[in-house]
Amino acid sequence: MEYIEINGGKELSGEIEVSGSKNSALPILASSLLSDKCITLSNVPSLDDVKSMISLIENLGVKVKKKNHEYILVTNKILSHEANYNLVRKMRASFLALGPLLTRDGFAKISLPGGCAIGSRPVDLHLYAMKKLGATIDFFDGYVIAKTNRKGLMGNKIDFPKISVGATENAIMASVLAKGETLINNAAQEPEIVDLCNCLTSMGAKISGAGTSNIIIEGINGFLSCSHEVISDRIEACTFIIAAAITNSSLRIKKIDLEHIKIFLEIIEKMGLSFKASNNCILIEKSKKLLPVSVKTMEYPGFPTDLQAQLMTLACISKGVSRIEENIFENRFMHIPELNRLGANINIKGNEAIINGNCNFIGAEVMATDLRASVSLILAALVAKGKTKINRIYHLDRGYENIDLKLSNCGAKIIRGNSG
């Protein structure tokens, strides 16, 4: 099994270019199932989750050509309407095949999903949206079986009782070929939702309101060929900003949409981090002292749960007591015992983590438990005294493209090994 080993205490310098967004690329790749026209996607990150999604859509009938970070996708005909367990268990984003298959051909058989073990994350809202559009839903042997009548899906009003990014994405993709108008209320507003809608619009879809809580979709009969560039990964960008801050380094982060990380920048500025931002680039400057922070994770445009573990690691070295409240997932503090192994002093009280600052991290052997938890351990290891060995880094490769190489190029002493 692969591991990463880091000799901490090294200052970083230079620049890092942010990769394309995983959470944007995955639904856009799934949307290729909708159309029989050519779709060219650029800035697609090379990640295990992307490879899993490519395997899934190829199995369903998408013809894929790849050149570097560009994919050419054509789906002349759906060859299979079943996303089986072996494909779906690797990541829950596989469930995004439901909407495209159902709206294009009227049938989908999708295994219930897997992915990071950070809470129950049920798919009930996905199924609620499909039912509102006229689908019938059954369950058999661990699969969701969705069907439409001869008329296909019909536009309708979808009132989500709570915000869900994945359910919003599935509802949007299902609605673009539904007959008539669909209104999605309480929709997720993430930049990745906007990116999906921009790609679908380039394909010929009629969508308004993306980026707000109310999205209107007018069903169409067919698509156009298109080219689309996936947005940069805002979570990766913020992770590298924290890497600079925690090592007290001056580091330039390139290819970043500053509007997407506005709340994050406000928080780290309150913590005392100095930076200069312009032209999709941010220069992190050395900071003498970091202040404690109180943060609550929320849906966009609030502070993202996907940055909770990273910010917590930074808070460990601040001068005081920080509090982070997790309001999205009920089981997303699994990194805390591992951070405490490295010398942190973090206590859990319900859905709140209380971080006692002034920590001096000390290298040790630790274990990654999920994607974002794994990168929090890397951040701690960068500043820890001595050597840190991080096991189970397959979590890391699901969402961070060449992170070890990017950090190594900036001066980190980091190697990847295999324990056999």
Catalytic residues: 116
Quick check: 196 and 27 in contact, CB under 8 A?
yes
Task: Give, as one character, the DSSP assignment of residue 187.
Answer: -
DSSP string spanning 79-108? Answer: ---EE-HHHHTT-GGGGGGHHHHHHHHSEE
Tell me how far apart the alpha carbons of residues 162 and 295 are, in angstroms, rounded to a whole number.
21
Tell me how far apart the alpha carbons of residues 321 and 187 are, in angstroms, rounded to a whole number.
35
**Nearest alpha-carbon partner for 57 in 89, 37, 34, 41:** 34
* CB half-sphere exposure, 269, CA atoms < 13 A: 11
Quick check: 309 and 355 in contact, CB under 8 A?
no
The type of residue at 382 is: L
Quick check: 39 and 72 in contact, CB under 8 A?
yes
Tell me how far apart the alpha carbons of residues 388 and 171 are, in angstroms, rounded to a whole number.
43
Quick check: 26 and 50 in contact, CB under 8 A?
yes
Which 3 state secondary structure label does DSSP give 148?
Answer: coil
The bridge status of strand 226-229 relative to strand 39-42 is parallel
The bridge status of strand 275-278 relative to strand 226-229 is unpaired
- Residue in the block written with tokens 């438990």: 369
Alpha-helical runs (H) found in 220-370: 234-246, 262-270, 308-315, 336-341
Distances (CA, A) of 316 to 5, 355, 374, 379, 387: 21, 6, 16, 11, 18
Alpha-helical runs (H) found in 271-360: 308-315, 336-341
Q: Cβ atoms within 10 A of the Cβ of 20, count? A: 25
Tell me how far apart the alpha carbons of residues 173 and 370 are, in angstroms, rounded to a whole number.
28
Q: Which two tokens stand for residue 76?
A: 């002349």
